[in-house]
Structure 1
Amino acid sequence: MSAKDYYEKDFYSELGVPKTASAAEIKKAYRKLARDLHPDKNPGNTQAEEKFKAVSEAYDVLSDDAKRKEYDEARDLLASGAFRGFGGGAGPGGGGNPFGGGAGGINLDDLLRNAGGGAGGGGAGGFSDIFSGLFNRGGGAGGATGNPRASRARKGSDLETEVRISFTDAVNGVSVPLNLTERGTCPTCHGVGAKPGTSPRTCPICQGTGLTTRNQGSFAFSEPCANCHGTGSIIDDPCPTCHGERTVLTTRRLTTRIPAGVSDGQRIRLAGKGEPGPGGGPAGDLYVVVHVTAHDLFGRSGDNLTLTVPVTFPELALGTDLQVPTLSGSVRLRVPAGTASGRKFRVKGAGVTRKATTGDLIVTVEVQVPQRLSAEAKKALEEFAAASTADPRPGITAALADRGSGGAS
């Protein structure tokens, strides 16, 4: 893959986000696409699998600040055409070199490597650093040829998965199995890419470095070798399992503990459970997004559980004892006479326990109005209404009376 091929690969378009998208927006877009395109959801759909790979590759770059910065710089440098046309015209140093170089011209690697690095050359890693970091991410032959840039250890990519648990399990905590689909080392060729019994040969064009130097006017700059696609090696007889890609989609199963008190939508970080790091680097992290199924009776507000209990008007008017459920049993609740509909009662310590704190159960009593009345009940209510002399809405009655008298005058 040439540099031009790579920078025309628009990772932002793959995820459907603008270049100015925040990390949160990128993550949200990836999660939706990965969920829709996941191989487990689209068995046998090669188009969805390829799209899933593309989306994963895009997220791998854009979710990492360092990789994203390298990618953006590479696209901006190449797309701007800033390195075209420097061979002609007189420059300050003469000889058609605008930077005053000698007859041999300027090597762009040296120019970028020393930019901002002072005499010691400790500045940017050079244009080839940008592309070696991007194109040799798969750990090609660079390590075997002694290229320290290609073989350096890097942290593996972070992974994200989702799990759905019950309301009770969210409150109490639960251990859940996770099936992760990820790219792993091919089990047939053990990451070599060649058919067992054979081995790759060093690319004769780049001599195993994965990079070639191209002259353009007075400048020379490095780009991934088109012959070996930046891997530094040629595979004449590809592995029948991975077809020379060195990695395959694998399923990994692990069990993790979801802590008590987890909330719906909460992300749990499992350090070191992501993809293995290239070059022997540390593994990335695994983020588990927890979805909690709603309960038939209980709701939740922070660490408090909520429960609405329907009651009759006589129970509120005369008072009653209610037996109400909790997640672990039941409690008796005293409702005093004259209680208003909508009043809340607190049952201490019957809520969610999280980080050594325990919430309460908030019980709301609400009058249940019957849809149908028997003749006896209707007669009893009519007698009750006739015997009731108290006005339930004195403020409204007074306001209406004032308006009536004002209108009469």
Structure 2
Amino acid sequence: MAGSGYKDYFQVLGVDRSVDADGIKRAFRKLARQYHPDVNPGDASAEARFKEISEAYEVLSDADKRRRYEQFGQYWNQAGGMGGGAPGMDVDFGRYGNFDDFINDLLGRFGGPGGSPGFQGGGFPGGGFSRGAQASRSPVNLDAEASVGVSFTEAYRGGERTLSVNNERVQVRIPAGVKNGSRLRLKGKGNLQPGTGRRGDLYLNLSIKPHAIWRLDGDQLRADLPVSFDELALGGMVTVMTPDGEAQVSIPPGTPPGRSLRLKNKGWPLKAGRGDLLLTLTLELPASWSSEEQQLLEQLRVQRSSNPRHDWLRSAAL
């Protein structure tokens, strides 16, 4: 700021002229936290103030620059033979993971510990400070993701879950009808940026655990329904279980195994109503037959009027 007249850097930092190096550092830390652009997004005056105190610290934190500044005032830079232009800075705030990383790097650039050796004692490369220059900032992504396994029943009916997030117990509502891979957003429960209070969102990727009976196929709920030989052959009413409880369904006579019975609007919860429930009939034979059953089967074999392999035999011939 030398080009615009004398600037009292001690006054900018709010310190006495007799302050030592540690006092200058403490004053800068306090003001930098107060006026940092990430703490004051969109505030041009705060950003200008931040650059001003950074410029003051660059000069006063360096023993040689401070000596020349106190001796020559606004002409301190020219007096040292370092060329025209006042000290200044353009900072890419997005390259820092958090505010403390930025402050530590900045202190190092101005000659303090923990900074980049290439900048210590030499100021910033590129010459003077442009009054209209804007710091290049990229928003820090503080969002986080986590995988959560839910039971099939939870996915179907929905419910409440309590999770431990960043040492905090969070109540999560699982909507009815979520599917495998569904994503829930917990606003303001992501990663915390130290020094700013900013916090991202947490995204939960849901994984539905398999069920012993039910399986989800798109919007349809499916299950295999075991039936006996006579139920397939003769048909009749059988009792089945649905998500809503027991129900009666009719099996038409002569239904082959593998055919599905459709129960409309008895399946998975959707945004607009319910999907269908499909029950695939599977032939369930007993591990052993009673003597009466064996006698009836013998009678059936004698009385059977068709050969189940008739068409197969003709088509299989080479």
> Normalised by the shorter chain, which TM-score bucket?
0.5 to 0.7
Q: How does 1:160-309 map to 2 (within 5 A)?
A: 160-181=145-166, 251-278=167-194, 280=196, 282-309=198-225
Tell me whether 1:129 sits opposite 2:129 in the alignment: no
How many correspondences in the alignment? 210
Q: Deviations over 1:239-289 (max 9, x none)?
A: xxxxxxxxxxxx011111111111233332223321234553742120112
Structure 2 SS opposite 1:283: coil
Shift of residue 375 of structure 1? 2.9
Tell me whether 1:324 sits opposite 2:240 in the alignment: yes
Higher relative contact order (CA 8 A, sep 6+): 1
Structure 2 SS opposite 1:346: strand
Q: Deviations over 1:5-49 (max 9, x none)?
A: xxxxxxxxxxxxxxxxxxxxxxxxxxxxxxxxxxxxxxxxxxxxx
Shift of residue 369 of structure 1? 1.8
Task: Name the CA distance, whole Å, in 1 between partners of 2:265 and 2:97.
Answer: 57
Shift of residue 139 of structure 1? 5.1
Task: Name the CA distance, whole Å, in 2 between partners of 1:341 and 1:283.
Answer: 57
In structure 2, the residue matched to 1:212 is none
**Larger Rg belongs to:** 2
Task: Name the CA distance, whole Å, in 1 between partners of 2:202 and 2:216.
Answer: 27
In structure 1, the residue matched to 2:277 is 361
2:176 is aligned with what amino acid? A
Contact 2:98/2:194 (8 A) holds in 1: no
Contact 2:259/2:281 (8 A) holds in 1: yes
Q: Deviations over 1:363-406 (max 9, x none)?
A: 11111122222333223212201211212233212235x55xxx
Q: Give aligned-pair identity as a percent.
A: 34
Q: Deviations over 1:281-325 (max 9, x none)?
A: 742120112222322321111221112111111111111101111
Q: How does 1:62-211 map to 2 (within 5 A)?
A: 129=92, 133-134=95-96, 138=100, 141=103, 154-155=139-140, 157-181=142-166
Task: Name the CA distance, whole Å, in 2 between partners of 1:374 and 1:317.
Answer: 19
More divergent stretch after superposition (283-292 vs 332-341): 283-292
Q: What do you get for the CA RMSD once the two structures are aligned? A: 3.6
Task: Name the CA distance, whole Å, in 1 between partners of 2:188 and 2:272.
Answer: 27
Shift of residue 156 of structure 1? 5.3
Normalising to structure 1: TM-score of the pair? Answer: 0.45
Task: Name the CA distance, whole Å, in 2 between partners of 1:390 and 1:137.
Answer: 85
In structure 2, the residue matched to 1:338 is 254
Normalising to structure 2: TM-score of the pair? Answer: 0.57
Q: Deviations over 1:67-123 (max 9, x none)?
A: xxxxxxxxxxxxxxxxxxxxxxxxxxxxxxxxxxxx989xxxx9xx9xxxxxxxxxx
More divergent stretch after superposition (269-278 vs 383-392): 269-278
Structure 2 SS opposite 1:141: helix
Q: Deviations over 1:194-251 (max 9, x none)?
A: xxxxxxxxxxxxxxxxxxxxxxxxxxxxxxxxxxxxxxxxxxxxxxxxxxxxxxxxx0
Contact 1:270/1:285 (8 A) holds in 2: yes
Unaligned segments of structure 2, at least 5 residues? 1-80, 111-132
Contact 1:171/1:352 (8 A) holds in 2: yes
Task: Name the CA distance, whole Å, in 1 between partners of 2:285 and 2:222.
Answer: 22
Unaligned segments of structure 1, at least 5 residues? 1-102, 114-124, 182-250, 404-409
Aligned counterpart for 1:390 among listed residues 280, 286, 306 = 306
Q: Deviations over 1:137-169 (max 9, x none)?
A: 545537998x9999x795452222233322111
